Structure 1
Amino acid sequence: MSADKTATARYSLAADEFMFVELSEEMTLEAFFRSISITQRLKAMSVPGIIEICPANASYQVRYDPDQLSAASLQEVLESLDREVSAQQVRNIETRVIEVPVLYNDPWTHETLMRFRDRHQDPSGTDLDYAARINGYDSVEAFIEAHSGSPWFVSMVGFVAGLPFMYQMVPRERQIQVPKYLRPRTDTPKQTVGYGGCFSCIYSVRGAGGYQMFGVTPMPIYDPFDQQPHIDDSMIFFRPGDIVKHRPIDRDEYDRLLADAEAGHYEPRVVPFTFDLDDFNRDPDGYASRVKEVLHDH
């Protein structure tokens, strides 16, 4: 039994309406699975007084109304759910697999990264050149194959509205690791696929950023103007627990999909999926192939 599965959670009050729960000091799939499992169960319970539930990488936060629910009572509920999740024999969650088309090495992030080269660890190349080299890949093409070849868990959504943080579903020794820029940029194109530390992300809006830039997706992920049928009233497409599979595309397909998105006709490929943590741990590569097959068969 892993340490993440049995580690004692730390419960902390934040102001009068929030409780923060830290499950692990480091990000692992075990800790993430525990966070998602607890928060999914908590949502299903519809406890009076709970206003909002926000899962994260190895923690979660609950906003509650202290006039309806005391901090002590809330903690009792959360501790009970933690015991239930830690004791379960079958560890799975209901989620969905989402295909994200990506134009790697696109002209817009390339122009941006060249403007901010003085803030980068290696001004002589591109972000993809740097990421490929420090991770031991012989070429940018091989690095792109590694980035797009494995599935990713959306471990949290936030920092900027709709921005998904994604954790690579491979053994830890094979995870891509890339530092952020030495100094943040003041510009990043919307829907840039970025990378910092062990996390990939998609920038939901144009703005400042410090992650390495690998490409862009034409898929809308944030819709404050209610123009995208695949995004509900929350305005945000991704949810913690989603499994993402990147698919490299060329410029022609990017332009076609972008035109669909601008016309409000974009249809993402989304498939319901039951994720089993123990099956994944037994055969990560086989599980990645299953995720690809689910999309292919849909």
Structure 2
Amino acid sequence: MVGTNTETLVMGSAKPGTKRKPKKSALRRIGTPLAAVAVLVILWQVVCVVFKVPYYIVPSPIEVGTSFGENISTLLEHAVPTVIEAGAGFLVGNSIAIVLAVLFVHWKAAEDALMPVAVFIQTVPIVAIAPVLVLMLGTGYAPKVVIAALISFFPTLVNMVKGLKAVEKEHLELFRLLSASRSETFWKLRVFASMPFLFSSLRITATTSVIGAIVAEWIGSQRGLGYMIIQATYNFDTPLLYATMIMASLVAVVFFSLVTIVERLVVTWSAESKM
């Protein structure tokens, strides 16, 4: 059995004389981006007022905020299916990617055979796949979940394979000297090394899964934020269009924040996760 402290082994000891970066305060982490957003919103409002931009072309932040408040119940109602589709696709796509990554690391022939297929699927535009899936699976949740899963799949597959292989030769040699089995090497060495890579891709796919669900809703859907975007466009209700995009962004931000919180709870040995 291997009794080595795996976290210390994987991350390595700090070099003498190196200084750790100070942690950013919560106020600075939150306040800085909020200040930047506030400045952009003010500039947006000033441009709309000074140049008298018609609301049906670019609405002012006040008009967008008014529309958001007036339609908040409708926006929340249509956000529910989008959240379900994006969340399910996120879980399915990333789960399949992780399983395949583990297979690729332990079976080189599978990687050589299936990785080109995964690359080919990634190169096909999502907008081209969506109508085909709607014809095959109908207009329910299924095609939206599949689209969200496809858009989440490839980044996690690539990062997880890279992470599982990102183990120093010295560490592998040490595990061999300690007569560690393949399963012990995998769980106590490769998994720990892969976690930062995995969560880097999960942060990306947390937002892209929402995009995938919305794109799928553009084709053959009667509900969801994607459906609302199409309806607002057809009705030339530009303030509602912007309000719907803001709601979609808020959903993506919540997904991203949840993944970040889980990362800080799981990847406790990474200095980057503590900043």
Q: Do both share a fold (TM > 0.5)?
A: no
More helix by share: 2
TM-score range, shorter chain: under 0.3
TM-score, normalised to structure 2, is 0.27
Q: Identify the structure with bigger relative contact order (alpha carbons < 8 Å, sequence gap 6+).
A: 2
Structure showing greater Rg: 2
TM-score, normalised to structure 1, is 0.25
More strand by share: 1
